[in-house]
Structures are given as C-alpha cells and as structure tokens.
Amino acid sequence: AQSVSQHNHHVILSEAASLELGCNYSYGGTVNLFWYVQYPGQHLQLLLKYFSGDPLVKGIKGFEAEFIKSKFSFNLRKPSVQWSDTAEYFCAVATGGFKTIFGAGTRLFVKA
C-alpha cells in the first residue's frame, strides 16, 4: 500500500539553526508531492509543491524541498529558522486520481 513516512515526530531547534525534515514515500509510479504547514490555531496551508520539472522547489517563507526520485524522498529544508516557524509540518503525496496521502506530521518548536 502507498504510504508516506516522516522521520521525526518532534524537532526542537534554536532560532537561526538550519532545518531539514525528512519525508519518504512508497510508490513506484509518478507522484505529485506537497508540504503543508499548520501554525498553532490555524488551518492547514500549502508550503510548497512538486509536480514536474526542477526537483528543487521553493515555497513560501524561505522553505525549499528537493525531490530525489531514486530515494523516494522529498525533504524539506530551511537554512535559518525563526520562532514564527513553530508549527506542524505534513508531507503529502498524490499518486494519481485525486487521493492524497499524508504523513503523520512533524512538530517543530523553535526556541527564541
């Protein structure tokens, strides 16, 4: 069955530290990849997406993600986090049709 695995459930960083959140999926065909973010008290919102083309995609607020097809990975990165990045981050994969599979999420806490 198709699945999405996020390696870390909780991450604590100090401001200005670099961030990398891991995401791996299991599916051998064409995929569309997403990272969503949920800030405290807010709705899920799209951070960035990959459909095709350049495997390095840039999103809002300085986030980027790299699709590595051979590793079935779509890791999220940010060179310098801010306190306002404290949120829960979800990796998601759409494998055809319109069914989107989400990972379990990673809670990031950034210490000021």
Interface residues toward another protein, by CB under 8 A: 4, 9, 32, 36, 43-46, 49, 51, 90, 92, 94, 97-105
Q: Is the CB of 98 or the CB of 112 nearer to another protein?
A: 98
Which of 85, 112, 98, 92 shows the shortest CA–CA distance to 20? 85
Q: Is the CB of 27 or the CB of 102 nearer to another protein?
A: 102
What are the phi and psi torsion angles at 52 (to 5°)?
-170, 175
| Measured CA distances, 90 to 17, 31, 41, 53 (Å) | 20, 16, 16, 22
The per-residue DSSP string of 81-95 comes to --GGG-EEEEEEEE-
Q: Is the CB of 28 or the CB of 41 nearer to another protein?
A: 41
User: What is the nearest approach in angstroms of another protein to the Cβ of residue 93?
Assistant: 11
